[in-house]
């Protein structure tokens, strides 16, 4: 791994001095993966582009809010997904917003049917048996787990992202946790 | 697949390509996303796979927004109470919201309060002349050729003059009224008088707006102001009993006048767009 000449943290600190070049560098590093990940949360490319724009404007204006701990990438993602939620709320594009990610074996057998060694390794590192259990959840429950657990959203924010009532988020999360617990308990031994 | 000292494994290009194309199964997607948060190498790998053109467009918009002038305090307050950015800008550009105007108003009110508290009979006369005319002046300064630096722009803009006048009038009155209200309690007479002057103020305001559909809004305001001032002075007489203009029997008349003038303004408001073009 070749180390970048300036770290993300240094770039964020340079923002408070009004360094547009630092923002450009951050954008070049983070906008691509952010755009891909946002597209997984919202199918409308225009809304994603707006959210990405809002995100980097917010990074520019609120760089002082970064506490200097942890990954800059995680901090920016937290901003980006919340900007996406505000854009979705402003646009009220309820019907188009949610991309429910279903298993895609049929479409891409090569990737999905036989996980590569790399995939297994990634799964092993990050989740262990959780990955398979996650896979067995219904798309609705999985979307809730992803929004709350992986994206770190509150149940209110998750409800706004997914376009469902907050209570539904809570019930689905509750059920999903129960199912995961059961799956993991049964699958480990 | 490579091994780095601190993170262990990296996703290979095929996996990243599948992720970017949305072809990974949910657990894999989740794993990749978690991994990306902590791995600059794989983030760079994604960057190589993503179409750069749309991202360049977004960057241009980011630069535009970052470098555009920051909204002033007035615009921020206006945006806070729910006005759109465009409305907020037009309200903020109203000359009446400028410091000099407010300062003049403040000094004017201060003098009448001083005079009233000194017990001079002319003090309350002065207050009763000035206070109801504060919103009238506000309306006059809300829209007009002579006072508005954005006048030509406003004329050319596809924007309803009615909306502009009302927006600016309301915003200016909202600023001016609290100032005038501060002065009200020092008036002689029963306590309700302190608020009663709002009725003639409303009547004068509506009358100015109604007249502004015939003549320039500045002249309309001058005319209404002149009539009001002479009426107060005449009623006051040598004894300075100006409070009589707020006597109970007269108050409904102000209300009727305000409603009637508002109706006239409402019916004739399309004439506003002709202001300043023909004269």
State residue B266's pLDDT score: 79
Q: Say yes or no to pLDDT of A170 above 80.
A: yes
- Per the DSSP assignment, residues forming a β-bridge with B4 are B8
Q: Say yes or no to pLDDT of B36 above 50.
A: yes
Per-residue pLDDT band for B121 (boundaries 50, 70, 90) equals low
* Neighboring chain A residues of B33 at a CB cutoff of 8 Å: 37, 40, 150
Q: How far is CA A16 from the centre of its chain?
A: 26
- Segments making up each domain of chain B, as ranges: 3-67, 102-274
Domain with CATH 1.10.10.10 in chain A: 105-189
From A122, which residue of chain B is nearest by alpha-carbon distance?
A: B31
Q: How far is CA B78 from the centre of its chain?
A: 5
Q: Say yes or no to pLDDT of A105 above 60.
A: no
Tell me the pLDDT tens digit for each residue of A23-61.
Answer: 999 999 999 999 999 998 888 889 999 999 999 999 998
Count other Cβ atoms within 10 Å, centred on residue B104.
Answer: 11
The pLDDT of A1-20, averaged and rounded, is 78
Name the least confident of A63-67, B185-189, B200-204: B185-189
Q: Say yes or no to pLDDT of A78 above 70.
A: yes
Q: Say yes or no to pLDDT of B49 above 80.
A: yes
CATH number of A1-94: 1.10.1740.10
Domain with CATH 1.10.1740.10 in chain A: 1-94
Count other Cβ atoms within 10 Å, centred on residue B149.
Answer: 11
**B238 or A26: which leads in pLDDT:** A26
Q: What percent of chain B has pLDDT over 90?
A: 6
**B218 or B78: which leads in pLDDT:** B218
Look at the block and give the residue holding tokens 């951050």. A26
Closest CA to B13 of B39, B33, B42: B42
From B50, which residue of chain A is nearest by alpha-carbon distance?
A: A32
Per-residue pLDDT band for A188 (boundaries 50, 70, 90) equals very low
**B68 or B28: which leads in pLDDT:** B28
State residue A53's pLDDT score: 93
State residue B38's pLDDT score: 85
B33 touches chain A (CB under 8 A): yes
Burial class (CB in 10 A: 0-12, 13-18, 19+), A22: buried
CATH number of A105-189: 1.10.10.10
Contacts of B257 (CB under 8 A, 6+ apart): B203, B206, B207
**B29/A101 Cβ within 8 A:** yes
From B54, which residue of chain A is nearest by alpha-carbon distance?
A: A49
How far is it, in rounded angstroms, from Cα B245 to Cα B257?
15
**B243 or A146: which leads in pLDDT:** A146
A163-166 long-range contacts, CB within 8 A, separation 24+: A163/A88, A163/A94, A163/A97, A163/A98
């Amino acid at each position: 791994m070749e180390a970048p000449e300036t770290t993300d943290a240094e770039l964020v600190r340079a923002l408070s001095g009004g360094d547009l070049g630092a923002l450009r560098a951050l954008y070049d590093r983070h906008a691509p993966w952010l755009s891909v990940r946002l597209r997984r949360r919202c199918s409308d490319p225009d809304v994603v582009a707006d959210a990405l724009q809002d995100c980097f404007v917010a990074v520019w204006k609120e760089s002082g809010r970064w506490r200097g701990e942890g990954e800059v990438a995680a901090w920016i993602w937290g901003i980006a997904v919340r900007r996406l939620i505000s854009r979705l709320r402003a646009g009220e594009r309820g019907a188009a917003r949610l991309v429910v990610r279903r298993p895609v074996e049929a479409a891409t057998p090569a990737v999905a049917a036989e996980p590569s060694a790399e995939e297994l390794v990634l799964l092993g590192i990050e989740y262990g048996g959780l990955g398979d259990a996650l896979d067995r959840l219904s798309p609705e429950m999985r979307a809730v787990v992803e929004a709350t657990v992986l994206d770190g959203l509150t149940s209110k924010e998750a409800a706004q992202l997914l376009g469902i009532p907050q209570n539904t988020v809570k019930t689905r999360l509750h059920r999903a946790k129960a199912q995961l617990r059961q799956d993991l308990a049964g699958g480990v031994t | 697949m490579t091994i780095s000292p601190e993170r262990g494994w990296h996703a290979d290009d095929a996996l990243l390509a599948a992720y970017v194309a949305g072809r990974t199964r949910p657990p894999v997607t989740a794993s990749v996303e978690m991994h990306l948060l902590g791995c600059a190498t794989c983030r760079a790998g994604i960057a190589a796979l993503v179409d750069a053109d749309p991202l360049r467009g977004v960057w241009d918009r980011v630069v535009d927004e970052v470098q555009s002038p920051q909204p002033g305090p007035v615009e921020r307050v206006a945006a806070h109470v729910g006005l759109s950015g465009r409305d907020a800008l037009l309200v903020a550009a109203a000359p009446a919201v400028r410091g000099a105007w407010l300062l003049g108003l403040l000094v004017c009110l201060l003098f009448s309060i001083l005079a009233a508290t000194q017990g001079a009979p002319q003090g309350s006369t002065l207050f009763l002349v000035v206070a109801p005319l504060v919103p009238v002046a506000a309306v006059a300064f809300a829209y007009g050729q002579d006072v508005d630096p954005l006048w030509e722009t406003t004329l050319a803009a596809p924007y309803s003059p009615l909306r502009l006048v009302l927006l600016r009038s309301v915003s200016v009155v909202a600023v001016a009224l609290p100032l005038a209200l501060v002065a009200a309690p020092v008036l002689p007479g029963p306590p309700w008088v302190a608020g009663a002057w709002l009725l003639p103020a409303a009547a004068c305001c509506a009358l100015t707006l109604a007249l502004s559909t015939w003549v320039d809004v500045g002249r309309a305001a001058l005319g209404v102001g002149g009539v009001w001032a002479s009426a107060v002075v005449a009623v006051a007489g040598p004894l300075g009993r100006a409070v009589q203009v707020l006597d109970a029997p007269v108050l409904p008349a102000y209300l009727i006048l305000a409603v009637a003038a508002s109706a006239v303004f409402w019916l004739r408001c399309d004439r506003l767009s002709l202001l300043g073009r023909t004269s």
